[in-house]
Amino acid sequence: MNKFDTNKLKKIAVFTSGGDAPGMNAAIRATVRMAIYKNLEVFGIYQGYQGMLDNQIEPLNLGSMANVIQRGGTVLKAGRCQNFLKPEFRKIAAQNLKVQGIDGLICIGGDGSFRGAKALWDEHQIPIVGVPGTIDNDINGSEYTIGFDTAVNTAMEAIDKIRDTAASHDRLFIVEVMGRNTGYIAIEVGLAGGAEEVIFPENPFNLEKVINKIQHGIDRGKKSSILVTAEGDKPGYAYDLAEQLKQKANFDAKVCILGHVQRGGSPTALDRMIASRLAAQAVLSLLDGNCNHMIALQGTSYVNVSFDEAIQKKPFTYKGLLDLVDILSQ
């Protein structure tokens, strides 16, 4: 975390970057309204870092944020910008911000977006505070990220529906959820949805164990089972697993890949509340002269965590939940 001189701080801008997540609109709204409450002018940058390069920068006011808190996605648009990986393009972005008189930024996004934010501070001393927004919950230093709770609830509701048909037809289902290289969505959905087994990148996969678990269920009269897998770095992996189960144990598994439905929809109350609090705190922290950090949720506290720490790999701390899935689904 760094300090900067807040004397000049009159205009700030907010942007969303990387993948969209339900609750980002609540975070934009909280940024805009807290900034105006604190007598700052506030701008929206559209399309993330691409908009910074293309000058897609518009003033926002109290009315711009009417009726957005309940909407999924992001009204500022999100997205990826390959050029921003290059210093010469970051220089253009910094110049554009300077011309507009913008001297502080709130970045709502994931670890990639924070890498870009850190580079803007390191190279051009543009003060930025981050707000962790990604359905994957994979930001180091924060227990929750915006969108995670909605994604978990969406996937859980889907599993509840699949369970109805699984039970009616005595079927084995493999449900693949999102989560990139982490199993946070998978493990919470697995526990909340009553899955027999949860398979994800941090949980080394053991085919024998999965087969024994399913067989044990069949032996005690269980008619249907649900396995939850995380997409990992290979979406569609659930089909490989179904194939392996067929070859090794002659189990017929149906596959359901939930995909992008988990990114959409109206955010849950928890996501709206966390988003509002993280973003409001981000504006206050910027006004205190803090930058090059994100606001993180730790326990019930909203704390500052440097971008350096936020971009490290998040250690997986859900071992206890995994054991519980096993015990409760025996």
Give the binding site for ligand ADP (CB under 6 A).
17-19, 49, 80-81, 84-85, 109-113, 115-116, 119, 134
CB 202 within 8 A of CB 208: no
Q: To the nearest whole angstrom, how small is the minimum distance from the Cβ of residue 319 to ligand ADP?
A: 25
Residues 246, 46: Cα–Cα separation, whole Å:
48
Q: Of 238 and 310, which has the nearer Cβ to ligand ADP?
A: 310
Query: Cα(first)–Cα(last) distance of the chain, in Å?
Result: 47
Q: What is the largest CA-CA distance in the chain?
A: 72
Beta bridge partners of 298: 301
DSSP classification of residue 250: -
Q: What tokens appear for 165 in the block?
A: 């048909």
Q: Of 84 and 302, which has the nearer Cβ to ligand ADP?
A: 84
Q: Of 29 and 180, which has the nearer Cβ to ligand ADP?
A: 180
From the candidates 103, 136, 138, 149, give the one annotated as an active-site residue: 136
Verify whether residue 136 is a known catalytic residue.
yes
Q: Of 118 and 163, which has the nearer Cβ to ligand ADP?
A: 118
Q: To the nearest whole angstrom, how small is the minimum distance from the Cβ of residue 114 to ligand ADP?
A: 7
Q: To the nearest whole angstrom, how small is the minimum distance from the Cβ of residue 127 to ligand ADP?
A: 17
Angle of CA points 100, 106, 111, to nearest 5° = 125
Q: What tokens appear for 53 in the block?
A: 């390069």
CB 226 within 8 A of CB 162: yes
Residues 24, 301: Cα–Cα separation, whole Å:
20
Q: Of 128 and 174, which has the nearer Cβ to ligand ADP?
A: 128
Q: To the nearest whole angstrom, how small is the minimum distance from the Cβ of residue 12 to ligand ADP?
A: 19
Q: Name the residue whose CB lies closest to ligand ADP.
A: 112
The phi and psi torsions of 134 (rounded to 5 degrees) equal: -165, 140
Helices (H) and strands (E) in the chain, counts: 11, 13
DSSP classification of residue 327: H
Residue whose C-alpha is closest to residue 91's, from 133, 126, 63, 115: 126
Q: Which residues are catalytic?
A: 136
